[in-house]
Amino acid sequence: MLDEGVLFLYEFNFILVGLLPKVFFKKGGRFNALWWVTAAPLLVCPVFLLGTHFGYGLIPGLTEALAPWNVLLALLAVPFSAGSIALMAFTLGSHRIPISLWHQRNDAPASIVTWGAYRRIRHPFYASFLLVLFGSLIFVPHPVTLVCFVTSFVILNLTAAKEEQRLFQSKFGSEYAAYMSRTGRFLPRRAR
Average pLDDT over residues 92-119: 75
The stretches of 26-69 forming alpha helices (DSSP H) are 33-53, 62-66
pLDDT in tens, 133-157: 999 999 999 999 999 999 999 999 9
**60 or 79: whose pLDDT is higher?**
79
- Greater pLDDT, 161 or 101: 161
Q: What is the pTM (predicted TM-score) of this model?
A: 0.90
Q: Model confidence at 99, in pLDDT bands (50, 70, 90)?
A: low
Give dist(CA 140, CA 73) in Å, integer: 8
Q: Which class does domain 4-182 fall in? A: mainly alpha
User: Which amino acid would we find at residue 67?
Assistant: A
> Pick the residue with more confidence: 168 or 184?
184
> Burial of 69 by CB count in 10 Å (0-12 exposed, 13-18 middle, 19+ buried)?
exposed
Instruction: Identify the band that residue 61 occupies on the pLDDT scale cut at 50, 70 and 90.
Output: confident
Which comes out higher in pLDDT, residue 127 or 163? Answer: 127
pLDDT band for 64, please (50, 70, 90 cuts): confident
